[in-house]
Structure 1
Amino acid sequence: MAPTTLTFLGAAGTVTGSRFLLTLGDRRLLVDAGMFQGEKRWRSLNWADFPVDPAEIDAVVLTHAHMDHCGYLPALVRNGYRGPIWATEGTAALAGIVLRDAGFLQERDAQLAEQYGYSKHHPALPLYTVKDVERTLPLFRPVDYDTDVEIRQGVVCRWTRAGHILGSASVRVSTPSTAIVFSGDIGRHDHPVLRSRDTPPGAPYVVIESTYGDREHPEPPLAHEDFAEAIRDTVARGGQVLIPAFAVDRTEVVLKTIGELQGDGRIPSLPIYVNSPMALDALRLYRSAGCRDELRQDLDVDDFLGLADLHETPDAQDSRELDELQGPAIIISASGMATGGRVLHHLAHLLPDPRNTVILTGYQAAGTRGRVLEEGARELKLHGRYVPVRARVVRDAEFSVHADSTDLVDWLRDLDPAPETVFIVHGEPAASAALHDRISAELGLTCAVARQGEVVVVEPFA
């Protein structure tokens, strides 16, 4: 019988597109089905034929609901996948929000590209549609944390809280011959909103993310002072602050921080607009009674989401009317790396004015507009046109809820039993290489940085 193999179909050499194919004889299990983002060479893989026939995949297992881990699912279904999608209840709920928004944006962006002629393809087509999303969502099968679930005969999965976003988990997959832990995205040791991560049972093989594998998160004496100073400075100039923020989890953390800074008198009270339908849906989910068990016990959600001058802008007309705002205000809008969504409209409107400020609040992958701004671009291409960048651009690195290098090593050290082999994924090359060297030096484990398309055997030596 052929050995069990693991194929790295994404998140190898890049920080997006998580897709890992586990092959056990004639059975196939896909762990995560993420979208590639960033540089064109990676984004083009979203449109390539999937390396195996989706109809021949038996099951999909998700770690969490960020686009780079679940955003390819409707394309997989469109191309023939009909099996179950296993995920925690929080991930299943968030995935519905994320994927519906993604389907809408895919259709809208294709329409705009066709209308304004900036697509190389005619007609411009979406990768998938809202109808494809609606065919995908009934396939979800919610599971509990810390519970063994037999998803196929002899294949048992267990989800352990990862503390990254609502519903996020590390997943241990055990088969008759081996076991593998997929870290998913690991949260920091102390998430500002969610309960802390737990440690999954160990396994002979571990697939670990490395987004921040080459750096440590700052812990300044005065938290978020760069963020606070940028807001104070912008208010003094009579400008507006635009915060591109991931709709899931990051918007909640940003609102909590704003409330704390206002309460401490470090920034003035001013109007705050949350302009992202997906973020508003996620806010309602975080507020819901069914999700309270995911949140920190010392957190009063109603308090930090009940800011005195908080405004929701659910529809497109409300969004357009924000262009008419007079005086200082804060606009929070998705996406966090400015890859799409309503934030693009706000960037086009606000970037040319030097009174305004854009505050980046998370990791900006190579090839994204967020990375271009972070690196000091003087112009930005938006919907086929170049817009001058005269506004101030600030990065607050304290908002990240990805584990840093020490968090990752600590998580790996705590696994019992310790792994025989560690595969490093989901990071840019320098970050993955740095984590490889640290794991080898500090833990003495055999590890390798995965390569796109690489196939490895994940069974003990005979």
Structure 2
Amino acid sequence: MPKITFLGGAGTVTGSKYLLSHGGRRILIDCGLFQGLKQLRLRNWAPFPVPPGSIEAVILTHAHLDHSGYLPALIRDGFKGPVYASDGTKDVCGIILPDSGMLQERDAEFANKHRFSKHEPALPLYTAEDAMRALEMIEALPFNKRREIGPDTAIILQRGGHILGASIVQCEFQGRKIVFSGDLGQFGDPVMVDPTLIEAADYLVVESTYGNRKHDTLDPQEALLRVVKQTVEHGGTVVVPAFAVGRAQSLLWHLDRLRKAGRLGNVPVFLDSPMATDATELLAKHPNDHRLSAAECRAAFSIARVVRSPEESKALTADPMPKIIISASGMATGGRVLHHIKHYVGDRNSTILFSGFQAAGTRGAAMLAGAESVKIHGVYYPVRARVENLSMLSAHADADGLLRWLKGFKSAPRQTFITHGEPTASDALRHRIEEELGWNCTVPEQMQRVTLA
């Protein structure tokens, strides 16, 4: 009988990979990087659990690196394709994957130059060239259209509302209907569309990022304005590590509304992320993935001054004027934002403002937990700046939102697998589903294989 093996996203919010197999056939849903804790990141360097060349196809729920970021390595090591994704996900991967390869190359070069790596020489997991080859293998599929991708195998993509192009994957495999939620967005988000309700599945794989938490009910614009005013009045700078796709655009939209209401004043806003700038421009290309018109996209995102070159970024860091800097990455794991954090994390008048979930082992999680210092590029920097998190700006549904989506099913799946969450979050969601819906649930372990009876 067909089986599902949890190659990632089990016991953690990263590395999502789910392998469907039957009689030598293999289909992979998501191909994510492990991030955060070192023991998780080391999994990226281990041999893939099955020969990449034995996999028939990969299906991506969306383009965030924890769901797509291992794809260049899989292809380099023998996977021959195809890769299926929504049109929006294909376009966003065109931004994210080459940037990931470039950053890995730069980080390895920086580590070798300053000799702080334990490896000699430090190497990237994959290169920007590897990423470009991966993009050639992605085939865009429309939403709501059934597509046969092999014998007794078909998929339908539905909108997940998480980021541009995010999909819920309905997979028909060997007579079973298996639904993969991907990452689900918030209902009622002012920018992104609601996740599509699914009525039935034999088996369900659902995320649990916020499975044990509810988002703050404060108005996000009021909360954002409070942080900005508190910082700017003391002459400080607000540094916002933000995911380049999704979070950065939501932040700009809220800041634009505050500016137009005359409440933000003249504090300058800078978008120091070429990737976020490119992703913002994609919104107009995919109007059905969000709630904004093309005119609203242009107007809202014109609030920020775009910083393109590394030289401009360095000059921005050195400028003492109070300001807001939005820069990738969202958990402070890499990118230009690290240079801004190095400069401002020791300033008592400044604020490091996170805007969503921080995975265990990331700098964001450490700072929010009250770390006295943070290690960046081999050097420890004391944390004296204010550190805050506005979780209501998250692109993830919270526990109540996840239950709301699950209640859209008209009948219970035979089995629900709870993944993509820290252990406490996944178990809390399991308990709620069992108590409130009466469904059969399990929290799978890494590399666990389950027969789909």
Tell whether the structures are fold-level matches, with TM greater than 0.5. yes
2:287–2:293 CA contact under 8 A, matched in 1:
no
2:40 alignment partner AA: W
SS in 2 for 1:373: helix
Q: Equivalent of 1:19, from 10, 17, 21? A: 17
User: Hey, what does 2:70 align to over in structure 1?
Assistant: 72
Q: Equivalent of 2:386, from 363, 371, 392? A: 392
User: Hey, what does 1:427 align to over in structure 2?
Assistant: 421
- Report the more deviating stretch, 84-93 or 223-232: 223-232
Matches within 5 A, 1:272-311: 272-286=269-283, 288=284, 290-296=285-291, 300-307=296-303, 310-311=304-305
Residues 98-117 of structure 1, C-alpha deviations (whole Å, 9 max, x = no match): 00100000100111111111
Report deviation, 1:371: 0.5
Q: Equivalent of 1:335, from 314, 329, 340? A: 329
Q: Which runs of 5+ in 2 are unaligned?
A: none
2:220–2:390 CA contact under 8 A, matched in 1:
no
Report deviation, 1:361: 0.7
User: In the aligned structure 2, how far is the partner of 1:385 from the partner of 1:407?
Assistant: 40
1:262 and 2:259 matched: yes
User: In the aligned structure 1, how far is the partner of 2:260 from the partner of 2:2?
Assistant: 55
Matches within 5 A, 1:364-383: 364-383=358-377
User: In the aligned structure 1, how far is the partner of 2:4 from the partner of 2:415?
Assistant: 13
- Report the more deviating stretch, 411-420 or 105-114: 411-420
- Report the more deviating stretch, 261-270 or 244-253: 261-270
1:323 alignment partner AA: T
1:172–1:201 CA contact under 8 A, matched in 2:
no
User: In the aligned structure 1, how far is the partner of 2:71 from the partner of 2:204?
Assistant: 24
User: In the aligned structure 2, how far is the partner of 1:326 from the partner of 1:347?
Assistant: 14
2:91 alignment partner AA: A
Report deviation, 1:201: 4.4
Residues 267-325 of structure 1, C-alpha deviations (whole Å, 9 max, x = no match): 32211110011111101111x3x311222157821221122xx2111111111111232
Change (3 A) 1:141 1:298: closer
2:2–2:174 CA contact under 8 A, matched in 1:
no
Report deviation, 1:334: 0.3
1:359 and 2:353 matched: yes
User: Hey, what does 1:123 align to over in structure 2?
Assistant: 121
2:220–2:393 CA contact under 8 A, matched in 1:
no
1:224–1:396 CA contact under 8 A, matched in 2:
no
2:431 alignment partner AA: D
2:199–2:408 CA contact under 8 A, matched in 1:
no
Residues 386-407 of structure 1, C-alpha deviations (whole Å, 9 max, x = no match): 1111111111111012111111
User: Hey, what does 1:165 align to over in structure 2?
Assistant: 163
2:8 alignment partner AA: G
TM-score (norm 2): 0.97
SS in 1 for 2:8: coil
2:68 alignment partner AA: C
1:342 alignment partner AA: R
User: In the aligned structure 1, how far is the partner of 2:75 from the partner of 2:293?
Assistant: 41
2:301 alignment partner AA: L
User: Hey, what does 1:312 align to over in structure 2?
Assistant: 306
1:452 and 2:446 matched: yes
1:207 alignment partner AA: V
User: In the aligned structure 1, how far is the partner of 2:292 from the partner of 2:330?
Assistant: 27
Q: Equivalent of 1:325, from 319, 323, 326? A: 319
SS in 1 for 2:170: strand
Report deviation, 1:218: 1.7
Q: Equivalent of 2:6, from 8, 13, 25? A: 8
Q: Give me the identity figure in percent.
A: 45
Change (3 A) 1:323 1:223: closer
Report deviation, 1:147: 0.6
User: In the aligned structure 1, how far is the partner of 2:385 from the partner of 2:292?
Assistant: 39
User: In the aligned structure 1, how far is the partner of 2:123 from the partner of 2:385?
Assistant: 34
User: Hey, what does 1:245 align to over in structure 2?
Assistant: 242
Q: Which runs of 5+ in 1 are unaligned?
A: none
TM-score (norm 1): 0.96
User: Hey, what does 1:96 align to over in structure 2?
Assistant: 94
1:15–1:365 CA contact under 8 A, matched in 2:
yes
2:152–2:175 CA contact under 8 A, matched in 1:
no
1:46 and 2:44 matched: yes
1:356–1:392 CA contact under 8 A, matched in 2:
yes
- Report the more deviating stretch, 112-121 or 59-68: 112-121
User: In the aligned structure 1, how far is the partner of 2:288 from the partner of 2:419?
Assistant: 30
